[in-house]
Structures are given as C-alpha cells and as structure tokens.
Amino acid sequence: MVPWSGPNSQQLIQRLVDDMITVSGREIALAMKLIVERCKLLVEPAGAAAGAGLLSGKIDRIAGKEVVATLSGGNVDLARLPKVLALAG
C-alpha cells in the first residue's frame, strides 16, 4: 500500500469517492485465489482489492445491484505467490 496520494489523485478522490472500506491481506489473498481459480487471471494484490472488498461482505448497500470491480495489474512476485495463496487457506 502506498501511504500517500499525488495531488491529482487526491483531487479526484475528494470529488468522486463517497465512502471507503479497508480489507485485510488475507481478504486480498482470498480474492486473488478465487480470481485465479475461477477467472484464470493472475492479478496483483492491489488489483484484487476491489474484488476483496466485494467478497468481504463489508459493503451492504450493493445487495441486489449490478456491480463492477476492476481487476488489474500483473506486478506479481511469482516467488512470493505461493505464500500469498497459502494465506488464503
């Protein structure tokens, strides 16, 4: 996670974001595992964060609505991937 945002990003966030949630490393690992198994895509942890948020059940106002989560990034350290997937259980 990057502990800061640039001025352009911060302006967009302030204008467009209504709410945020946090997800744990394990929740991201679970999302990555599901994405690999079901979608046959390998996305980086940050790219799986939106999916982790949806899968976590922390967003109750989306029930019954159509939702899109962007899966992105291929910056995955293949040497560390087994550890990430093991975190998912």
Query: H or E stretch including 51?
Result: helix 45-55
Is 46 in contact with 73 (CB distance < 8 Å)? yes
pLDDT band at 62 (very low <50, low <70, confident <90, very high): confident
What pLDDT was estimated at residue 3?
A: 67
% of the chain exceeding 90 in pLDDT: 48
Residue among 50, 5, 15 nearest 31 (CA): 50
pLDDT band at 86 (very low <50, low <70, confident <90, very high): very high
What pLDDT was estimated at residue 39?
A: 93
Is 84 in contact with 45 (CB distance < 8 Å)? yes
Helix axis angle for 25-34 and 45-55, nearest 10°, is: 90
Report domain extents, the chain: 23-87
What pLDDT was estimated at residue 18?
A: 83
Residues 27-43: what's their mean pLDDT?
94
